[in-house]
Homo-oligomer: A and B are copies of this chain.
């Protein structure tokens, strides 16, 4: 093979920034969606250490053929400072996972994790309305999921984080925006829970731990794990063995891929390049 056909001098660049980076799935999935829409573009993994984040990102954003960035652990909150304008979800959550170069020169941040998660449940025929939700993890992804789930009017939203203040602070923010939702801090539990969600990094890659220490999960609990690598975390294995319905991090990603690429295209000003789609 003399030349490859998926990258050229005219390719527009996107990146996913995180540390570690090997476990991310956006390169395969978002590149596929960009390509499907007819763009000569690729989304790359970009592995940046925390100490380098600020200086490195400031310079990456000056690369002229870079049109957008996705952020993953541990940068979803720090990335807010890079945006010249934040979307509605990002303002509530205090984190972003997508940053688009605007055709006017600014950078527009928004978070789609929570919306993608709700979309994944919707596609699986599962509603949050009037159900009791246990959420583990109040970091970037956890906050996004909490706000999006709260919009769906669950009966209750119990939130745990190893940093208890972070979890109770999130519950308080939820109640401020959604006073009708019983959002509160609570230890991990499977009793009195309809939907169990892990949005903490516990169980990622070679981490053998579980975000909740139980031997069995009641079979009527729906269990979701935001982790994408491994796909089958120990939590989800236990859930399957317990007879529970399970949802995967990859489904949350699938639920948001289209929304993230819409965000890029809307601000890059490339929507009208797609004949099949109405221009913006």
Contacts and interface: CB of A to CB of B under 8 A. Distances in A.
Copies of the protein in its oligomer: 2
A275 interface: no
Interface stretch (A16-24, A102-110, A149-157): A16-24
A29 B2 CA distance: 6
A71 to B, nearest CB: 14
Given A44-B44, A65-B47, A4 B22 contact: no
Given A4-B28, A9-B21, A63 B42 contact: no
Nearest to A64: B47
Nearest to A228: B9
Nearest to A257: B2
Interface residues of A, number: 45
Interface in A93-112: none
Contacts of A43: 7
Interface in A72-93: none
Nearest to A10: B22
A229 interface: yes
Contacts of A44: 7, 11, 13, 42, 44
A43 to B, nearest CB: 7
Contact of A56 (B7, B48, B59): B59
A62 to B, nearest CB: 5
A9 B229 contact: yes
Nearest to A18: B9
Most buried by B among A11, A52, A58, A59: A59
